[in-house]
Amino acid sequence: MFSAYRLIDPTSPYRSLCRHFALIWQMAKRDVVGRYRGAFIGLLWSFFNPLLMLIIYTFVFGYIFKSRWVGLTGGHVSFAVILFAGLNINAMFSECVTRAATLIVENPNYVKKVVFPLDTLPWSTLGSALFHLIVSTVVLLAISVSANGYIHWTVVLFPIVMLCFIPFLVGTMWLFASLGVFLRDLKQAVGIITTALMFLAPIMYPRTMIPTQYQSLMLLNPLTVIVESSQDVLVWGRQPQWGLLGLYLLCSCLFAWLAFAWFERSRKGFADVL
């Protein structure tokens, strides 16, 4: 029963998504609704949260630091929008990874007491993160419309960009969820990793602003391609760099496959240390 997935099959990471979709959906739904249960304005938090963050970032970087985005016209609001496009990606990554590190540790019953498809836990976490990303994106588009009066047709390409991002995210979660069981320090390190990746991605500044010799180095940051592609389709109204995105998708899938294989191998050890 354990080796129901054949690890040499590169589509194996997505098998459980199909097989347990109803379960994943329920868990994700519960996660979204449950997070704000008891809060006065409830689900509205997922709307206000990004909005308030956006105001703070715009104030700090736009007004105080007077950051300017090369080639961008339209003042603070435009700056806010492009900042927002990148921050959303980082927020999603950060939510996924932070929770991944404790995903298994916090659910020992699922490991020891019941037969639970543990590999679905990252999927449901991803589902709830995706919900928050969608809300944030809607906020972004709304601000865009109110500032410019239109949105670019290229926003329809945004789901494709996300599709390339997802294998990387879920792979990272498998990896961190598994390592988090054995290396309890990981939880502490995650905060630093996500913050570092935020500042080392072209979120608050364009990639062109850094010295040319380091520009391609920045592509090693797994967020870079996705952040730039999101900015392309949501803010600039141009098509993403398909070649780069395609390569990213390839790496992303390869990574997810390896991470999944690792997760499935290492899960046998979970019960021994929980």
Partner 1 sequence: MSSEMFPEDLSIYADCLSKRYEIYAQPADRLKQMLLPRLLRAVGGGEQKYFREFWALRDVSFSVMRGETVGIIGRNGSGKSTLLQMVCSTLHPTKGSVRVRGRIAALLELGAGFNREFTGRENVYLSGLLYGIPEGELRKRFKAIVDFADIGNFIDQPVKTYSSGMYVRLAFAIAAHVDADTLIIDEALSVGDVRFTQKCMRYLREFQQRGTLLFVSHDTTAVINLCSRVIWLDSGRMIMDGAAREVVEQYLAAQHAADRKSLGENVALGPVASKGRSTAKSDVGDHGVPTDIVDSRMGILNGTAMRNLVEVFEFDAVNINSEFGAGALRIQDVRLREESGAICHMAHGGELVDLEIEARVFEPVKSPIFGFFVKDRLGQRLFGDNTYVSYLDEPIEGEPGEKLLARFRFRMPILPTGDYSIDVAVATGTQDDHTQQHWIHDALTFKARESTMRHGLVGIPMHAIGIERIEGGE
Q: Which of 112, 189, 216, 250 lies at the binding interface for partner 1 (CB under 8 A)?
A: 112
Among 53-61, 67-75, 112-120, 130-138, the segment contacting partner 1 (CB under 8 A): 112-120
Q: Which of 8, 18, 22, 156 lies at the binding interface for partner 1 (CB under 8 A)?
A: 22
Q: What is the enclosing helix (H) or strand (E) of 240?
A: none
For partner 1, give the closer residue by CB, 2 or 40: 2
The tokens for 136 are 């944030």
Q: Which residues contact 264 (CB under 8 A, 6 or more apart)?
A: 3, 5, 7, 119
Question: Alpha carbon 190 to chain centroid distance?
Answer: 14
**Residue 137: which of 212, 180, 87, 173 has the closest Cα?**
87
| Binding flag, residue 181, partner 1 (CB under 8 A) | yes
Among 66-74, 178-186, 213-221, 238-246, the segment contacting partner 1 (CB under 8 A): 178-186
Q: Which of 36, 45, 116, 236 lies at the binding interface for partner 1 (CB under 8 A)?
A: 116
For partner 1, give the closer residue by CB, 37 or 66: 37
Q: Which of 6, 9, 34, 242 lies at the binding interface for partner 1 (CB under 8 A)?
A: 34
How many other β-carbons are positioned within 10 Å of the β-carbon of residue 92? 21
Q: Please answer whether residues 100 and 177 qualify as being in contact, where contact means their C-beta atoms are separated by less than 8 angstroms.
A: yes
Indicate the SS3 state at residue 246.
helix
Written as one letter, the residue type at 54 is: L
| Binding flag, residue 110, partner 1 (CB under 8 A) | yes
What span, in angstroms and rounded, lies between the C-alpha atoms of 161 and 34? 28
Count the residues of the shown chain that bind partner 1, applying the rule CB under 8 A. Answer: 30
- Shortest spacing between CB 190 and partner 1, in angstroms: 16
Encoded one letter per residue, x for contact with partner 1 by CB under 8 A and - for no contact, window 36-75 reads: ----------------------------------------
What span, in angstroms and rounded, lies between the C-alpha atoms of 13 and 257? 6
Q: Which residues contact 14 (CB under 8 A, 6 or more apart)?
A: none
Binding site for partner 1 (CB under 8 A): 1-2, 20, 22-23, 26-27, 30, 34, 109-117, 179, 181-184, 265-266, 268-269, 271-273
